[in-house]
Structures are given as structure tokens and as C-alpha cells.
Amino acid sequence: MSVRNTAPPATDSLAEMEREVIALFVRLADLIGLPRSAGELYGALFFSPRPMHMDELRARLNMSKGATSQGLRLLRGFGAVNLARLPGDRRDYFAAETQLRRLVGGFLRQQVQPHLRSGAERMDLLRRLLEDVPPKDRAFVAERVERLANWQRRSERLLPMVMKLIRV
């Protein structure tokens, strides 16, 4: 990816629009359980006409180096940002991925699939623990464990269909 050296226009209406775009992605990050910093970083990159390096993002968002680094690492992990290089510059530049199917697919792979795998392990543990439940409570608890197992099976079947639907 090539990097153009053009700064975003600095008009009041563009600055207000950038704040609103960032706020939108902060709310979305909160909704899906990601840190605020990930929403801020993605929003700033989404609204930027050019890739930005970490120090630019830190200054623009008034964010600590640790939060910026962690947020970029998280976003790169599921493909929400792409790495870019500027010839003669050793710094990493970042650009927002704007293809929704890539964003959703990366999020599902990195955030949802691991939870489904650990959920299956937890279901095995719950079934083993059921043996020690007092007889008077066993029917109720067994019904709830079976309901959870059913949800787990349905989720495991649904995820591949969602992935195919978005063509990941």
C-alpha cells in the first residue's frame, strides 16, 4: 500500500464530522466488547484520507503510547487495519480496512470462534459437575445444562454459515 503525503483538511465542519465518526466507532467498539481505544483508532483511520503512523494517531487522539499500541495490535489482529510503508521511512503506517465482509470475517475468526471452542470445553466440565449436584436440584440443573449445550451446538452450526454468507 502506498502512502500519500496529504494531510486531512482542517475545517471546523470536517473536524466535527471526524469527532462524530470516531464517536460512532467508539460506541460500536463498546457494543461488541472492544476497548474504547480500538474504536477511537479505527474511527480516526477510517476518516483519514491517508494512512497514519502511531505517533500521529497518539497526538490526534491524545492517547497514551500503550493504549495506541495495544489498540492497533488488536485491530490488526482481526484485519480492521492494514499496514503500509512509506519509502525511506522506517515507521509503520496504518490504514482502515473498509470492506465490511473483511471486518466482520476477521472479528468472527478472532473474537467469536475462540469463545465457541472454549464454550464446548466448558460444556464438558458442566456435564461432569452435574454428577455432584444434589438429587433434589439435579433435574433443573440438568435441563439448564442441556439448554446451554443446545445453544452451543446451534452457535457452532451458525458461525460457518455466517462466514460463508459474507464470503470470508
What mean pLDDT value characterizes the chain?
Answer: 86
In whole angstroms, give the CA distance from residue 146 to residue 116: 16
Average pLDDT of 1-18? 64
pLDDT at 8: 53
Read out DSSP for 99-117? -HHHHHHHHIIIIIHHHHH
Burial 69-83 (b: 16+ CB within 10 A, else e): eebbebbbebbbbbe
In whole angstroms, give the CA distance from residue 106 to residue 76: 9
- In this predicted model, what pLDDT tens digit does every residue of 70-125 receive, in sequence order? 999 999 988 999 998 888 888 999 999 998 888 888 888 777 777 777 877 888 88
pTM: 0.71
Other beta carbons within 10 angstroms of residue 23's beta carbon come to 13
Q: What are phi and psi of 132, to 5 degrees?
A: -95, 0
